[in-house]
């Protein structure tokens, strides 16, 4: 396994990029830990595949270097990088049995048959295909074939990293959870460095120790699911993570107060003078509807979301969402909202501003 370093990496698909806008991947420098489980998360077109292809060697970056354990592999071909890849669609040899498919990467590397047999058995158990080892891959369901692809990616212990590009796209919804759980366990048991590309926050948050959120060609935050929830570093992270996402409201901030249309609310921290576009961000989980506390709102709709209720409301002309417990009583006279000051984040030009600790 390897630590992966992105060193001043950037990529433009244009021959002569003139400005930052011409870059599909804006300049970034990061170290990804050896043995870490990372998810690359972001909406379509944000640059996830571009970054993954640079790591795997399918694409040469127009700027910067990529290092595996400190060794520069920027210009090394895919075959020399010693990585395993699992794509959206299963890549299996139909005429081979499940056993032969799983054994392929090991036989290819000349491992002895005794080792191959025991390792294949181990992987087959992990992916729940022990009973199918003698079956030909042809005729298996897409789910089963993708499990073989996952197993094949996992079978070699000596790979530098395992890259997954939206691997659950073809998997039936009820199987997705099971496979994700298996992947997590495989990571736990084998400690591979894993990079998992997805646009699905549930997949990212359940799989990864660290989620790398991308927006418009930039890594806007790398953090644990808790960090992304508690302290979104960019308003995009706030919107994108959570259901519904964070409320982002234009405000004026002075010291320990924020003003929305002149109405004051307390902040958990103090802030210096802020120029540019200033907004506050509050997750619906930290907003509370009541009869008497806080600022006035107009409730538009209450949705029953199973374990909780989502209140859709209007707050000084901005739509906001509030989450209430499933048993909370909501009445027509509840037309005020208060925010948990410790969980109100302040943003300037979309980036979170750190307040004074005091």
Nearer to ligand ATP, 24 or 323 (CB): 24
Side by side, the strands of the sheet bearing 4-11 are: 25-32, 4-11, 63-68, 71-72
Pairing type for strands 37-41 and 210-215 reads: parallel
Task: State the Cα–Cα distance between residues 250 and 260, nearest whole angstrom.
Answer: 7
Helix, strand or coil for residue 42? coil
Q: Tell me the backbone φ, ψ of residue 180, rounded to 5 degrees.
A: -60, -40
Residue closer to ligand ATP (CB basis): 208 or 260: 208
Nearest approach in angstroms of CB 281 to ligand ATP is 24
Query: Side-chain half-sphere of 252: how many Cα atoms within 13 Å?
Result: 7
For ligand ATP, the closer of residues 163 and 344 by Cβ is 163
Q: Is 49 in the site for ligand ATP (CB under 6 A)?
A: yes
In DSSP notation, 170-202 reads TS-HHHHHHHHHHHHHHHHHH---EEEEES-HH
Distance CA 7, CA 29 (A): 5
For residue 42, state whether it binds ligand ATP (rule: CB under 6 A): yes
Tell me whether the omega of the peptide bond preceding residue 260 falls within 30 degrees of 0, making it cis.
no
Is 20 among the residues that bind ligand ATP (CB under 6 A)? no
Using a 10 angstrom Cβ sphere, with 0-12 exposed, 13-18 middle and 19 or more buried, the burial of residue 193 is buried
* Cα dihedral 278→284→286→288 (10° resolution): 110
Q: Is residue 48 within the footprint of ligand ATP (CB under 6 A)?
A: yes
Q: Smaller CB distance to ligand ATP: residue 48 or 352? A: 48
d(CA 115, CA 106): 9
Binding flag, residue 308, ligand ATP (CB under 6 A): no
Three-state DSSP class for residue 165: strand
Q: Which stretch binds ligand ATP (CB under 6 A): 46-54, 170-178, 284-292, 296-304?
A: 46-54
Report the residue from 9, 28, 36, 50 that binds ligand ATP according to the rule CB under 6 A: 50
- 21 vs 293, beta carbon nearer ligand ATP: 21
Q: Which stretch binds ligand ATP (CB under 6 A): 44-52, 227-235, 276-284, 329-337?
A: 44-52
Smallest distance from ligand ATP to CB 197, Å: 7
Least spacing, CB of residue 165 vs ligand ATP, in Å: 8
Q: In the complex, what is the shortest distance from the CB of residue 166 to ligand ATP, in angstroms, rounded to a whole number?
A: 7
Number of residues that bind ligand ATP (CB under 6 A): 11
Does 82 bind ligand ATP (CB under 6 A)? Our answer is no
Which residues have CB under 8 Å from 340's CB, separation 6+? 282, 286, 287, 288
Q: Are strands 210-215 and 71-72 parallel, antiparallel or unpaired?
A: unpaired
Contact 267, 355 (CB under 8 A): yes
The residue from 46, 84, 161, 297 that contacts ligand ATP (CB under 6 A) is 46
Stretch that binds ligand ATP, among 43-51, 248-256, 260-268, 288-296 (CB under 6 A): 43-51
Q: Given the complex with ligand ATP, which of 166 and 279 has the nearer CB atom?
A: 166
218 binds ligand ATP (CB under 6 A): no
Q: How far is CA 216 from CA 25, 46, 54, 129, 244, in A?
A: 8, 5, 17, 40, 21
Segment lying near ligand ATP (by CB under 6 A), choices 37-45, 120-128, 321-329, 349-357: 37-45
Pull the structure tokens for residue 141: 């369901």
Kindly indicate which of the ranges 45-53, 66-74, 256-264, 300-308 contains the residues binding ligand ATP, using the contact rule CB under 6 A.
45-53
Sole binder of ligand ATP in the list 1, 10, 24, 246 (CB under 6 A): 24
Residues that bind ligand ATP (CB under 6 A): 13, 24, 42, 44-50, 199
């Amino acid at each position: 396994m390897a630590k992966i370093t992105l060193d001043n990496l950037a990529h433009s698909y244009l021959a002569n990029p003139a400005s930052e806008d011409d870059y599909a991947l804006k300049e970034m420098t990061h170290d990804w830990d050896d043995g870490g489980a990372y998810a690359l998360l972001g909406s379509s077109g944000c640059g996830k595949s571009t970054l993954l292809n640079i790591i795997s060697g399918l694409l040469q970056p127009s700027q910067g270097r990529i290092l595996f354990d400190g060794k520069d592999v920027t210009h090394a071909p895919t075959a020399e990088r010693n990585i395993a890849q699992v794509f959206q669609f299963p890549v299996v040899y139909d005429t081979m049995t499940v056993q032969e498919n799983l054994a392929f990467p090991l036989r290819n590397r000349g491992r002895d048959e005794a080792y191959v047999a025991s390792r294949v058995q181990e992987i087959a158990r992990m992916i729940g295909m022990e009973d199918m080892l003698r079956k030909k891959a042809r005729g298996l369901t897409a789910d089963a074939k993708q499990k073989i692809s996952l197993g094949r990616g996992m079978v070699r212990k000596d790979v530098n990293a395992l890259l997954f590009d939206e691997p659950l796209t073809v998997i039936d919804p009820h199987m997705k959870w099971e496979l994700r759980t298996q992947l997590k366990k495989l990571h736990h048991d084998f400690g591979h460095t894993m990079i998992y590309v997805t646009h699905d926050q549930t997949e990212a948050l359940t799989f990864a120790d660290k989620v790398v959120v991308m927006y418009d060609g930039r890594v806007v935050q790398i953090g644990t699911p808790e960090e992304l929830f508690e302290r979104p570093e960019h308003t995009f992270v706030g919107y994108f993570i959570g259901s519904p996402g964070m409320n982002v409201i234009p405000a004026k901030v002075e010291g320990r107060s924020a003003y929305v249309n002149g109405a004051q609310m307390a902040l958990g921290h103090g802030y210096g003078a802020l120029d540019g576009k200033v907004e506050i961000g509050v997750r619906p989980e930290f907003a509370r509807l009541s009869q008497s506390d806080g600022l006035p709102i107009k409730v538009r709709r209450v949705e029953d979301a199973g374990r909780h209720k989502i209140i859709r409301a209007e707050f000084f002309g901005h739509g906001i969402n509030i989450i209430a417990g499933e048993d909370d009583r909501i009445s027509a006279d509840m037309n005020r909202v208060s925010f948990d000051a410790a969980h109100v984040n302040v943003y300037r030009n979309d980036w979170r501003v750190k307040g004074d600790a005091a």
